[in-house]
């Protein structure tokens, strides 16, 4: 086994050995456990809902690994958080924090859409899924998606959908999603 393979193998073993308790603070505050490890060492991690303090823990930095974030001040961030919280049972952003580094290392969001169709049903939309590049491959992506699927179920969504690039299809398939239809897009000419 090459030294690189050996390192990867040892990390995989550490993933299996690492049992770290996490806390999720959704509306019902259930206790959940999170099994994972950081890219560098066994990390103490916590899976929970996004909170105001995460502005200083690199939440926007990790988001910028997926999309252009632009200048978002702490005040703008807090106002957006407040708006989302006040729009009850609609916006759910989960994060994973590396507790030793006080750093956000993974995030994903669920938006619950109210429909008239299907007897006034609800549909979940998953957005902004990203794992810090140094922590990829340790099941953090899968963990945040599983959490959002669970919240969508509790919220009564009859399905949960998302858009992704072709290269991420295997990841979402491993999370239980299937390919269906395609995305259409209109870019606002003023944006």
- d(CA 68, CA 106) in angstroms, rounded, equals 17
SS3 37: coil
Q: Tell me how far, at minimum, the Cβ of 116 lies from ligand COA, in Å.
A: 28
Q: Tell me how far, at minimum, the Cβ of 136 lies from ligand COA, in Å.
A: 3
Nearer to ligand COA, 32 or 121 (CB): 32
- d(CA 87, CA 42) in angstroms, rounded, equals 37
35, with CB counted inside 10 A (0-12, 13-18, 19+), is middle
Nearer to ligand COA, 27 or 61 (CB): 61
Nearer to ligand COA, 30 or 137 (CB): 137
CB atoms under 10 Å from CB of 24, counted, come to 19
Nearer to ligand COA, 5 or 88 (CB): 5
Nearer to ligand COA, 103 or 139 (CB): 139
Q: Tell me how far, at minimum, the Cβ of 78 lies from ligand COA, in Å.
A: 25
123, with CB counted inside 10 A (0-12, 13-18, 19+), is middle
Residues interacting with ligand COA, by CB under 6 A?
Answer: 66, 129-131, 136-142, 164, 167-168, 170-171, 174
Residue nearest ligand COA, Cβ-based: 141
- d(CA 61, CA 130) in angstroms, rounded, equals 11
């Amino acid at each position: 086994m090459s030294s690189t393979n050996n390192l990867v193998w040892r990390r995989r073993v550490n993933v299996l050995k690492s049992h770290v308790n996490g806390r999720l603070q959704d509306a019902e505050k259930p206790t959940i456990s999170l099994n994972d490890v950081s890219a560098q060492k066994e990390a103490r991690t916590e899976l929970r809902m996004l909170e105001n303090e995460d502005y200083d823990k690199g939440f926007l930095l990790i988001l910028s690994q997926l999309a252009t974030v632009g200048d978002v001040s702490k005040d703008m961030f807090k106002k957006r958080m407040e708006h989302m919280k006040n729009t009850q049972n609609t916006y759910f952003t989960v994060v994973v924090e590396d507790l030793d580094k006080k750093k956000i290392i993974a995030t994903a969001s669920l938006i619950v859409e109210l429909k008239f169709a299907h007897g006034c049903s609800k549909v979940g939309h998953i957005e902004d899924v990203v794992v810090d590049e140094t922590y990829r491959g340790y099941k953090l992506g899968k963990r945040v998606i599983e959490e959002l699927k669970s919240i969508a179920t509790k919220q009564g969504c009859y399905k949960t959908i998302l858009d992704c690039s072709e290269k991420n299809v295997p990841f979402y398939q491993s999370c239980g999603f299937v390919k269906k239809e395609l995305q259409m897009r209109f870019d606002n000419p003023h944006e």
